[in-house]
Chain A
Amino acid sequence: EDKVVQSPLSLVVHEGDTVTLNCSYEVTNFRSLLWYKQEKKAPTFLFMLTSSGIEKKSGRLSSILDKKELFSILNITATQTGDSAVYLCAVFGNEKLTFGTGTRLTIIP
């Protein structure tokens, strides 16, 4: 059975801190890994990763994939209150897009 596990489940940090969110997976026929941000509505797309070791970057957010060790990390530097959200990791594999349970990130001003 395909599995995507995210850690930690929740995280509370102060504004300006740097955070690292983790995603490990066990999925057959891996195609890609996706990161989404969700704030009380539909998830919004952040990154898609298909190759190991190539960092994707957008402003203060960055992500990298390790296909040998089957995990990905999402880094957020200089966090802001607007970064408070649930961050979802999902993997395309075996004809399915499987999601983890998410990491709830709370930024304290």
Chain B
Amino acid sequence: NAGVTQTPKFQVLKTGQSMTLQCAQDMNHEYMSWYRQDPGMGLRLIHYSVGAGITDQGEVPNGYNVSRSTTEDFPLRLLSAAPSQTSVYFCASSYSFGGTEAFFGQGTRLTVV
């Protein structure tokens, strides 16, 4: 059982480039979410999804897009990378909203130069 798989683990982008961070879970979880973690800021919610075909914005959505075409996958797209998006990104999933723990991927360390 792989759990939550995030790729890549590390990435360096130039300002203005676009990329997609992949997140996949094999636990049939309905709830999935993306966070960014910056020093002293905790985990801030970027986007979340309560099921396939449904997404919504979190606390810091600007510059990011998501889609949820299947239950398993929840990719995060950076449209035009900026140095302010340098961060560690975590994907998380949960079987039901609020009823079980949230499982985390191993994180993606993104640097925008």
Contacts and interface: CB of A to CB of B under 8 A. Distances in A.
Chain A interface main SS type: strand
Contacts, number: 57
B101 A41 contact: no
A54 B44 CA distance: 29
Contacts of A99: 35, 42-45
Interface string A37-61: 0000111010010000000000000
Interface residues of B, number: 28
A88 B97 contact: no
Interface residues of A, number: 20
A98 B107 contact: no
B100 interface: yes
B102 interface: yes
B106 interface: yes
A34 B106 contact: no
Contacts of B100: 48
B74 interface: no
Interface of A: 31-32, 34, 41-43, 45, 48, 88, 90, 92-93, 95-102
